[in-house]
Amino acid sequence: MLNPMSVMVLLDAEFRRLVLWVPVLLALGALAYFLWPYEPGLLGGVGVPAGVVGLCLGACFYWRQSLVARLAGGAGVALAVGFGAAWCAAHRQPPMPELPRRGTEISGIVRDVAFFPAPTGQGGAVRRVTLAQVVLHDFVDDGMAPLRRTLAIRLVQNDSALLAPGDGVRVRTMLQPPPFPALPGGRDRQFEAWFSGQAGSGYALEPVQVEPGAQGRVSGFWQGVATVRGRVNARVRAVLPGPSGAVVATLLDGRAEAVPQDVREDFAASGLAHLLAVAGLHLGLVIGAAMLVCRMALAAWEYAALRWPCKALSAFVAWGVGGGYVLLTGVHLPAVRSWLMASVVVLGLVVGRRAVSMRGLALAATLMLLVAPQVVLDVAFQMSMAAVMALVAGYELLQPRLTRGLSGLTGAGHGLARHGVMLVLTSLLAGTATLPVVMAHFGVVQPFFVLANLLAVPLMGVWIMPLGLAALVAMPLHAEAPFLYLMDAGVRVVLWLARSVAAWPGARMEVPAMPGWGLAGVLLGLCWLCLWRGGGGGGGMPVVLCATLSPWLVNQPDLLISPDGQLMGVRDHTAILVMGHARDERAIKAAWAQALAMPATGFSTTAEQAAETPDGSLICGESDAGGTCTLLRNKHEVVLRVHDPSDGRSLLPPDLCAQADLVVSVAPLRESCPDVAVRLDRFSAWRVGAQAVFLASGVRVVSDRQTRGERLWVLKPGGHGMPTLPLAQAE
């Protein structure tokens, strides 16, 4: 039991490191806003946080001699600022427009062009264009202002139109808004679309028409960046058209869409998926190579070597090269975070301070959370922060011991041993720290990630990325082909390694979905473990371990209902038995399978032939009402209508509902089973989205609307947004 005096001693010992907790408190404040059950108004989103900041600052000034008061006041200020920043970031976004649900002709400006691999045996790659300033040409929206959000349109496969960023296009499409989560607590694509400026997606019904004279209506700088990215991608695809060429293009322009699905799965199973996401590793290799070349060039110039600060100048040049690489690869959040940390490193080299430290990471995280607080829920931000924090803390603790352990070696043996140990340690620290985050977001564990990274990461550092930089430098001279071929040889080795490791038994183990509190516990426990250096710092390890086990500590749903109410999934012993049909059936099945860590298989529900599970808990086709099933579990009886009757109004037989505790129907129930306590049908799914039913103790239903609440990014029932019609003057 800690007494007040011992607490003060601990706080005083950690006084210089307490500032590292500022980004943690900012993240908690932003998280509080995003998890709020309803949308706060101006008073709750700005007024209350401003009042809290004023009170906390006043308390810090009034009790300035008290360390506890200053710490409590500072914590309150950080929490309030995080909450207010998140509110402002959410309300800065334009509203989600109402998209037509029929074939509509649209026109817009091409912002980006990406390539996707076509399904097996269906020809070459498929193009997807991102359109800005989109105008809807239909009888409702004709003459309205352009959309303030972008649309992602998949072009028809035989479309041969030459498109580049800045081109104006016109095409007939089918549009759809961002989808609802496939299950309560699942991936929220509406949240992602709200903060990324997307209005939805769609597919073209015919080839696009390029409109002349529409250039120049998009920001010149970003149009130029997009043009360069497109040209780099085209050059790489022209020289290397295969799967390895798609990986090379990903490393040079940041677009991973063209990488085939089987290659993605191999990289994920072998623990090498981070190589396909341009982040700190890639930027570090680029900056390191640029700094090495620049410093060697300055050292070879006698005048510069004797008079100029070559180390600082090389770091500054490498920092600029890294910034250009971040722009070229799409300004993704992990790369931005790494570049911000590189900025701190360059500043440290210039002023003679320690370059890589936990303070640099805290400064980069603080800037990102103030500018874009929504990154607190982004998997890339969580993984990059966890990995870098573990690396910095691990080397702070283990570097002296490694130095003492290798002190007996000399010459080349010392260098090889040192680099080998640091490579193993880096893979082990970063991989272990991000393992629970990967479990939470992707539902998998890759036990062989250390072995795969031991070979892949050095190959990336000494061969692939330096050759990639040389190819980029040679592209203006049209001399990039030799470097791309050499780079492709190294990528092929990595592909072989990923495929080989992925084929090992147990290379990819699926785990159930981690609850939100489990992921929060993992990240907070990791912060405690890495940021607290005094007594009690090791207490973060039990927190991380317990939170990592959280997927097996919570009840799994017995029944899942899709957002449109047309698909039902019954959790069996070894699989999810899926009944019904839905438009997004494949994506919903994949999300359910990942969440419950078991395959989603179809279950026969035809009226002509009865079907049941081996244990008899699910029986279909035995009732007089066609297309119905009965689920018996935990002393509860559930009636499932999995087929919509032909007339749309057939009532369920009263005897079928007599003992039922729950009725679920893909069709409107209307007067069917009026005495059943819980009734779920198409209308309830339309109102509240996806639903999960738990039968462990009573009948408990959790809906998507209940989980997410009424927020700005949550679309209205049916996926409706704000009409594009102009508001009345009074509105």
- Convert the pLDDT of each residue in 281-336 to its tens digit: 788 888 888 888 888 888 888 888 888 888 888 888 888 888 888 888 888 777 78
pLDDT greater than 70 at residue 119: no
pLDDT at 719: 83
pLDDT at 343: 80
Alpha helices in 219-357 (DSSP H): 220-239, 243-253, 261-269, 280-300, 302-307, 310-328, 333-351
Residues 639 and 706: their CA atoms lie apart, in Å, by 23
pLDDT at 216: 46
Cβ atoms of 28 and 88 within 8 Å: the answer is: no
Average pLDDT over residues 540-548: 90
Average pLDDT over residues 345-363: 73
Range with the largest mean pLDDT of 232-241, 290-299, 318-327, 592-601: 592-601
Report the chain's mean pLDDT, rounded to a whole number: 84
pLDDT at 155: 92
pLDDT at 731: 46
pLDDT at 562: 93
124-155 pLDDT tens trace = 678 889 999 999 988 777 778 889 999 999 99
Give buried/exposed letters for 106-135 (b at 16+ CB in 10 A, else e).
bbbbbbbbbbbbeeeeeeebbbbbbbbbbb
pLDDT at 113: 85
Across 643-720, the runs of DSSP E, i.e. the strands, are: 662-665, 678-680, 691-694, 700-703
Residue written as token pair 């009886």: 637
pLDDT at 387: 86
Question: In terms of pLDDT, which residue wins out, 309 or 3?
Answer: 309
pLDDT at 9: 64
**pLDDT class for 222, splitting at 50, 70, 90?**
confident
Cβ atoms of 594 and 513 within 8 Å: the answer is: yes
**pLDDT class for 728, splitting at 50, 70, 90?**
low
12-26, 670-684, 705-719: which has the minimum mean pLDDT? Answer: 12-26
pLDDT greater than 90 at residue 450: no
pLDDT greater than 50 at residue 1: no
Residues 673 and 656: their CA atoms lie apart, in Å, by 8
CA dist 28 to 21, 25, 83, 86, 653, Å? 11, 5, 8, 11, 52
pLDDT greater than 80 at residue 11: no
Portion of the chain with pLDDT greater than 70, in percent: 89
Cβ atoms of 49 and 81 within 8 Å: the answer is: yes
- Stated pTM of the model: 0.88
Instruction: Report the first-to-last Cα separation within the chain, whole angstroms.
Output: 60
217-221, 227-231, 276-280, 679-683: which has the minimum mean pLDDT? Answer: 217-221
pLDDT at 605: 65
6-20, 286-300, 416-430: which has the minimum mean pLDDT? Answer: 6-20
Residues 525 and 31: their CA atoms lie apart, in Å, by 16
pLDDT greater than 90 at residue 171: yes
621-637 pLDDT tens trace = 776 666 788 889 888 99
pLDDT greater than 70 at residue 277: yes
pLDDT greater than 80 at residue 13: no
CA dist 153 to 99, 139, 366, Å? 13, 21, 35
pLDDT greater than 90 at residue 589: yes
Average pLDDT over residues 99-111: 90
368-397 pLDDT tens trace = 899 999 999 988 888 888 888 888 888 888
646-665 pLDDT tens trace = 655 677 888 888 888 899 98
pLDDT greater than 90 at residue 204: yes
Residues 196 and 262: their CA atoms lie apart, in Å, by 28
